[in-house]
A and B are shown apart, each in its own frame.
Chain A
Amino acid sequence: MEMFKSLIIILLSSVLVNNYVLSRFLGICPFLGVSKKLDQATGMGIAVTAVMLLATAVTWPIQYFLLDKMGLGYLQTIVFILVIAALVQMVELLLKKFSPSLHKGLGVYLPLITTNCAVLGVAINNITDGYTFLESMVSSLGVGLGFLLAMVLFSGLRSRIDETNIPRPFKGLAVTLIAASFISLAFMGFAGIVDALFA
């Protein structure tokens, strides 16, 4: 029960309180780039969640059973980025071969994710936070879902921005960032909610 509770806390806090996009600024590029339409935002969000889970499932054992055992902790960054890049490529090839329909939906987003700082960030953070394997997986799931939530919310806002008349210098990225700032401000309201729920 105690473990279950701690897992729920990790999940909720990584979705709402420590949302990677809105409060930690990881994965801003896809957040701004692929959030124009709802279907694309959803596709990207699901793909990121899947890759994060996969990346954590692979990098956690590598860190604890390979790098730490052999005293190679300083190679973390290089090993993680290579493993994640290779993994994403492999998943894309497998999807293309075995499930073309899924590849059509999600596959196009996969190469974008290879060098995404949110994926590398969650892999490294799980190690620095000292999570167990189960906790790491739950935290990756939460971060992925938080990313999906932010993308979906923001794509709704983006479609409204596109229809309004904005002063010339603010057109494009400037107004997008300011809109993102307001969503982030709204998410700040979640600070403390997790502690309050389980107090």
Chain B
Amino acid sequence: MKKNSSLSILLKGIIKENPVFVLILGTCPTLAVTNNVAGAFGMGIAALAVLVCSNVLISLLRKIIPESVRIPCYIVIIAGFVTIVEMIVHAYFPALYDMLGVYLALITVNCIILGRAEMFAGKNSVGKSALDGIGMGLGFTLALVLMSTIREVLGNASFAGIAIPFLEPYKIEFLVKAPGGMLVYGCLIALVYVITSGKAPLKKSFSCAGCPNAATCQTACTASAQPTEEQKGDAQ
């Protein structure tokens, strides 16, 4: 497969550069909305819509937006699309709107969207950016659905609201609460590392590299991201 073929751009977001498990972007919604499958799926689709729209528009405008003010411009574009999606969800899917609450508005500050704008859409053609948006959005949705399935089935003995009676006596209730989210997420990151036998570019530790703000806050990042002993060992 050619490195830049359309198919590989589409597919890399789903597995190789999965935004949640490999790039570690958008941790907040990942943890917050995955206690039930329906909410996680809705969140994924909402983020997908915003991601594709903002990627396309930013790619169209990439030669017009001045380099120095690009981040504020991206934020305005993204916030605009988030508002549109928020209104659509409010009008047509009120149950989902109540379920997601403030997290829907917080798609604005989801690192995935700003991150893809900065890393991909700002540098590539419209078609490629749209594909990248679809791929990343699907990767995000799949990751959320996977995580919420584990949490809801094991924690609440149900799937997308449908009860699974035989699991009822064995449910581990804390998985649907806040700590369970972090536990499942941590285990899944380790699992992805094992499955890809260490080939996935696993982040040695949480650094600012994937953060779109990295450029604007070099000082803070270098201060916090000094290599530890562990990382030095890994590099060898």
Q: Measuring CB to CB, which residues of chain A are less than 8 angstroms from any residue of chain B?
A: 22-29, 32-34, 36, 40, 74-78, 81-82, 85, 108-109, 111-112, 114-117, 120-121, 124-125, 128, 162, 167-178, 180-182, 184-185, 188
User: Are the CB atoms of B75 and A25 closer together than 8 Å?
Assistant: no
- Interface 1/0 per residue, B71-86 and A, CB below 8 Å: 0100110011011001
User: Are the CB atoms of A114 and B229 closer together than 8 Å?
Assistant: no
Q: Measuring CB to CB, which residues of chain B are less than 8 angstroms from any residue of chain A?
A: 24, 27-29, 31-32, 72, 75-76, 79-80, 82-83, 86-87, 101-102, 105-106, 108-111, 114, 174, 177-183, 185-187, 189-191, 193-194, 198, 202-208, 211-213, 216-217, 219-221, 223-225, 228-230, 234
In the complex, what distance in Å separates the CA atom of A111 from the CA atom of B224? Answer: 14
In the complex, what distance in Å separates the CA atom of A164 from the CA atom of B234? Answer: 15
Give the interface SS of chain A, mostly helix, strand, loop or mixed.
helix
Which of A36, A78, A114, A115 has the most chain B CB within a 10 Å cutoff? A115
With A111-B217, A112-B220 as given contacts, are A174 and B190 in contact (CB-CB < 8 Å)? Answer: yes
- Of chain B, the residue at the smallest CB distance from A20 is B28
Give the interface SS of chain B, mostly helix, strand, loop or mixed.
helix
User: Are the CB atoms of A177 and B183 closer together than 8 Å?
Assistant: yes
| Cβ–Cβ < 8 Å partners of A111 in chain B | 213, 216-217, 220
With A77-B86, A185-B174 as given contacts, are A124 and B102 in contact (CB-CB < 8 Å)? Answer: yes
In the complex, what distance in Å separates the CA atom of A32 from the CA atom of B180? Answer: 17
**Of B75, B181, B207, which one neighbours A82 at CB under 8 angstroms?**
B75
User: Are the CB atoms of B83 and A81 closer together than 8 Å?
Assistant: no
A sample of 16 inter-chain contacts (CB < 8 A) reads A28-B28, A34-B224, A77-B86, A81-B75, A82-B76, A108-B217, A108-B219, A108-B223, A114-B216, A115-B75, A115-B213, A116-B109, A117-B109, A172-B205, A176-B186, A185-B174
